[in-house]
Structure 1
Amino acid sequence: MNEVKSAELMVDQRINKDNILNQVRVFAPATVANMICGFDVLGFAVEAPGDEVTMTKVKQLGVRITSIKGDDGRLPLDPEQNTVSACAMKVLEDLGLAEEFGVEIELVKHMPIGSGLGSSSASTVAGVFAVNALLGNPLTKEELLPYCIEGEKLACGHGHADNVAPALMGGITLIRSYEPLDIVPLPVPAGMYAGIVFPHVDVPTRDARQLIKERVPLKDAVVQWGNVAGLVAGLYQNDFALIGRSMQDVIIEPVRAILIPQFAEMKAIAMSYGALSFGISGSGPSVVAITQSEAVAKTITIAIKNHLDKQEIDCNTYVSAVNTEGPRLLD
């Protein structure tokens, strides 16, 4: 991870030790990565679910995780292996404060792991946002983002930003470039809702990525480029019809959908109840219906849940507007 700036410059110009707090509690949201047609370059934040981090300043040096709740014992307590603590430590080191004091972290997972809703990114963003808030917010969100991307790399082996960028920035984000990093916020049309269903089936992110072809036919690439451009245009024009017909994936969805039981049936249900579009959230198995109203999103999630119940597949459902705030301080 590259240093944001030299520690000496940061301490001299931005760190006011009188502004350092004793404790903060932060919520960071789940996200829908890819937005169906924008693999690794598009994503948006939702209102719920999400993760919660409580960070406390202590005299003992170092970063420690004192508890993790809601993970069924799946996440590491080792501060070098957990994204929340590893990223927080790097921020402290880069700001020249790692030898001044330590922090203790409590992580509460309010969202399922391996859901395709950015579980690791929500925790990472909550931790990075929390340590910055603890220090009196010396860094901008743009400066915090590289730390979050490194957290994703630690969590899943690939430092992509389509989850952490919207989770940190809020709203809908476009990753125009990774080298150099260039994040573009996109408009959020009023009344845009997501109906999300998380079927309780296992689709590991790494496995889902391995299915993706290294090369795609030019004709498919052209269709995908047109859809991404159409989606961006639709967001700027507040044109839901254009948004709906643009959110189609001819490259990733055909191969990933085979890992998700009842995908075709769920898609048919969503479209029959008025979804603008329907596809996979991130690497799955969560699926998302984009709608023009909260009522339609609720109807779709209920209908899909009823269908999955008949197939004896448990699931979680969420209905949310686009979260334009991103992480927030609690209490």
Structure 2
Amino acid sequence: MELTTAKTSVNNTGKEKDKVHVFAPATAANLVCGYDILGLALDEPGDEVVMVRAGEPGVRLVKITGDDGRLPLDPTKNTVSACVQLLLTHIGREDVGVEISLHKQMPIGSGLGSSAASTVAGLYAINQLLGSPLSKQELLPFALKGEELACGHGHADNVAPSLFGGITLIKSYEPLEVINLPVPKDLYCSVVFPHVDVPTRAARQMIRSKVELKEAVVQWGNIAGLISGLFMNDYGLIGRSMKDVLIEPTRAILIPEFYEMREVALAAGALGFGISGSGPSVFAFSTSKATAATITAQLSEHLKFKNIDSNGYTSAVNMQGPKEF
């Protein structure tokens, strides 16, 4: 992915700051049938970045919390600091020095866009610190570089919704085109992260490289149906379209109790149910916050009964993306 933000397009629209504190949301990617092209932002969880201007040029990562020591403090190897440095170099502001503290408020390897939220928080923070010289659209290529560093593939289905908020469609990568889709006002999410390990790279490697045309036709119909349901505020169509015949049958093998959890969610009033990103997190849509909370609680209780610990979240669709405190 080539960085296309030209130095000549940089245009400060606000006053530069000495310190910023930013939150960026977790995401649920794919939305069952939209592998690598659909994603949504969640109100919770998410990651936070505190960025302070330093006297000496350069990007320093001074603290990481909430990661159990799993993430590198080396600024060239951590997605947050590496992307901040990339942005500063690209816009000709290598004179700037910053110290970054990353606070992980969400589990790593959960299928909830952990690396994307951290990267977006860092990029949004440096942009705010410099007086917002770049638009969100211009920040997106830098966020994709972060995903490339984190998992070897610069896909946008996590970083785009985390950056723009709402539900996003990745229409194409060459050229990069992201579309914000309508979000029905009563759409709520139940998200549960079972404490099992499903590495993103391993989950991607399991996916078939070739599919039958008849399966592809079913998948295209479901994607079109889901997007149509969002435009039409047709919750029934949204639910009927949340089916995946290509990816889910393979990835579900890695998630204990997946099909049992789907039965629990649908019985509790879910519109549809599926894997968030590469898993192991699962999510469900429903039409009220109360129903969503019930689904989250029942899924967590089911896993507890099976001796599987989990984190549960209930959220509306986050329409803002990153925010400064």
Same fold (TM over 0.5): yes
Deviation string, structure 1 residues 215-265 (Cα, Å, up to 9, x no partner): 111111000000000011000000000000011111110000000001011
* Code of the aligned partner of 1:213: R
Map 1:42-121 to 2 at 5 A: 42-98=38-94, 100-121=95-116
SS at match of 2:273: strand
2:233 is aligned, of 227, 234, 238, to: 238
Distance in 2, Cα, partners of 1:282 & 1:15: 35
* 1:145 equivalent in alignment to 2:111: no
Distance in 1, Cα, partners of 2:318 & 2:309: 26
SS at match of 2:210: coil
Moved more, 54-63 or 155-164: 54-63
Distance in 2, Cα, partners of 1:171 & 1:28: 13
Moved more, 292-301 or 62-71: 292-301
Distance in 2, Cα, partners of 1:185 & 1:102: 34
Deviation at 1:166, TM superposition (A): 0.2
* 1:294 equivalent in alignment to 2:300: no
Distance in 2, Cα, partners of 1:5 & 1:47: 29
Map 1:125-164 to 2 at 5 A: 125-164=120-159
Cα RMSD between the aligned structures?
1.1
Distance in 2, Cα, partners of 1:246 & 1:5: 37
Distance in 2, Cα, partners of 1:112 & 1:324: 22
Deviation at 1:15, TM superposition (A): 3.9
Are 2:226 and 2:237, in contact at CA under 8 Å, matched by a contact in 1? yes
> TM-score, structure 2 length as denominator?
0.98
Change (3 A) 1:207 1:126: same
1:39 is aligned, of 8, 12, 35, to: 35
1:185 is aligned, of 180, 185, 205, to: 180
Distance in 1, Cα, partners of 2:194 & 2:150: 22
Distance in 2, Cα, partners of 1:296 & 1:19: 44
Deviation string, structure 1 residues 104-160 (Cα, Å, up to 9, x no partner): 100000000000000000000000111111110010100000000110000011100
Distance in 2, Cα, partners of 1:210 & 1:235: 31
Deviation at 1:267, TM superposition (A): 0.5
Are 2:3 and 2:142, in contact at CA under 8 Å, matched by a contact in 1? no
Deviation at 1:10, TM superposition (A): 4.4
1:176 is aligned, of 171, 196, 200, to: 171
* Code of the aligned partner of 1:48: E
Deviation string, structure 1 residues 35-59 (Cα, Å, up to 9, x no partner): 0110000000000000000111111
* Code of the aligned partner of 1:50: G
Change (3 A) 1:2 1:265: same
Are 1:4 and 1:94, in contact at CA under 8 Å, matched by a contact in 2? no
Change (3 A) 1:136 1:318: same
Distance in 2, Cα, partners of 1:227 & 1:307: 29
Deviation string, structure 1 residues 292-327 (Cα, Å, up to 9, x no partner): 111111111111111111111000000000000000
SS at match of 1:225: helix
* Code of the aligned partner of 2:76: E
Distance in 1, Cα, partners of 2:93 & 2:300: 49
SS at match of 1:19: coil
Moved more, 296-305 or 39-48: 296-305
Deviation string, structure 1 residues 188-240 (Cα, Å, up to 9, x no partner): 00110010110000000000001100011111100000000001100000000
- Identity percentage over the alignment? 60
Structure 2: runs of 5+ lacking an equivalent: none
1:227 is aligned, of 205, 222, 238, to: 222
